[in-house]
Structure 1
Amino acid sequence: MAGSNNDMNVLHAFPLFNDILQGKAPDMSYVVNGNEYKYGYYPGDGIYPEFATFVKSFSFPVDEKRKLFKLAQESERKDAERAFGVLKQRCHIIKHPTRTWDRAKLTTVLTACVILHNMIIEEEGRAICSYTGNDVLNPPAVIQVGSSTYFSRVLEIQNREKHHNLWHDLTEHIWGRQLQWGNGDGDKKDEGNDYDENADDDDEADEDDDKE
């Protein structure tokens, strides 16, 4: 109904996890902070449930680690929103009303726009991954809806403990990476930006040059 499309209603009506549940999604396993995870995740705000496939921010970060994670998570969410903005700017068909279209046509149009956008990025030499025409994608075995494997994946996605473990591991990973890039002192980080202990010296040297 009009006016009822809040985030949770859209989530429950949207087939977001169907490919994962039916085994159609590509392998998205990864290791963070020494622990392996099977499925990718989406950055979201506090309204979303504590699923293993959602990573939310800290509402009230109490230490530097959580403050840094909050900055990184919110930055990723802004990147995702900007990506849709770029698509709408480049492919104006996405900006037009589509209430008279069916779901299959909407999927085809959006997929075509994403493919065209990626082709443009690749042609400009700004692609972040590469592939060749000889690459073979082996389709995974499809899992039947209602089978034991299907429901086991439902439980894995809705695993609250896994959600909190991923939350913790990502926080530690981002903090450790910041220490590695900086000088090893987390107290000297400036709101998530890389700290350069020689920056002040460089500024003073520039001022001396200007005076000379």
Structure 2
Amino acid sequence: MSGSCNNLNVITKSPLFDELTAGRAPQIQFQVNNRICNLGYYLADGIYHRWVTFVKSIPRPTRPKDLKFSQAQEGCRKDVERCFSILQSRFSIVRGAARGWDREDLRYIMLTCIILHNMIIEDERPDDNDEDLESDEEEDNNMRPMLATVWEGPTGDDFDPIGRDGYYFNGFMNRYDAIRCANSHSNLQEDQIEHFWNIQGNMEI
């Protein structure tokens, strides 16, 4: 019905985490505050569920740690939104509705627009003088973003197949429960708050 699709309804019906629940998503592992994490996450605002795949901002932070974390989380989330807005303003194909496109076509469209955008930025960048080239070489290398690799899908026997027998079904349910674990969500957020606070403290010193 019109007006009934809010963020929570959309994420409940969305296939965003289907590949992750089925065990076909790329394997991820990182460490935060001496804790090993095996699930990636999205930056989201406070309306979303308390899932381990969401790192939400703190609505009314009171501690200095929470305040700094909220500022950093909201800033990074805003950077992602601005990047997509730049693509929408530059390429009209990104502004249109995506419902009629095939998922693979959408993937190639977004990759093509990102590559073209980077080519335009590189072409419009002013030429460096020979005198400044040597002095700024180290700084320029540090400022350049790292190359990202595009996941082409599962290959080989790295992922468990999903079947109807009890063994695979139990694995499916374990992953399903792990994604929606509120305790893991709280632990991840608290670990990131501590980790970010320690980094900021070292930078200020």
Using structure 1 for the length normalisation, give the TM-score.
0.74
1-structure distance, mates of 2:109, 2:90: 9
Gaps of 5+ in 1: 132-136, 184-212
What are the residue-to-residue correspondences of 1:168-187 with 2, within 5 Å?
168-183=190-205
Give the residue type in structure 2 aligned to 1:39. Answer: L
- Count of equivalent residues: 177
Contact 1:87 1:113 in 2 (8 A): no
Distance verdict in 2 for CA 1:130–1:96, change over 3 Å: closer
2-structure distance, mates of 1:151, 1:30: 23
What are the residue-to-residue correspondences of 1:49-198 with 2, within 5 Å?
49-97=49-97, 101=100, 105-120=101-116, 124=122, 127-129=145-147, 138-139=155-156, 140-144=158-162, 147-183=169-205
Contact 2:21 2:172 in 1 (8 A): yes
Superposed CA RMSD in Å reads 2.7
Distance verdict in 2 for CA 1:75–1:32, change over 3 Å: same
Identity %, equivalent residues: 32
Distance verdict in 2 for CA 1:153–1:93, change over 3 Å: same
Over alpha carbons, which structure has the higher Rg?
1
1-structure distance, mates of 2:177, 2:80: 27
Gaps of 5+ in 2: 123-140
User: How far did 1:27 drift?
Assistant: 1.6
User: How far did 1:14 drift?
Assistant: 0.7
Of 166-175 and 140-149, the range deviating more from structure 2: 140-149
Equivalent residue, structure 2, for 1:199 = none
Contact 2:87 2:114 in 1 (8 A): no
Contact 2:87 2:117 in 1 (8 A): no
1-structure distance, mates of 2:53, 2:148: 26
1:30 matched to 2:30? The reply is yes
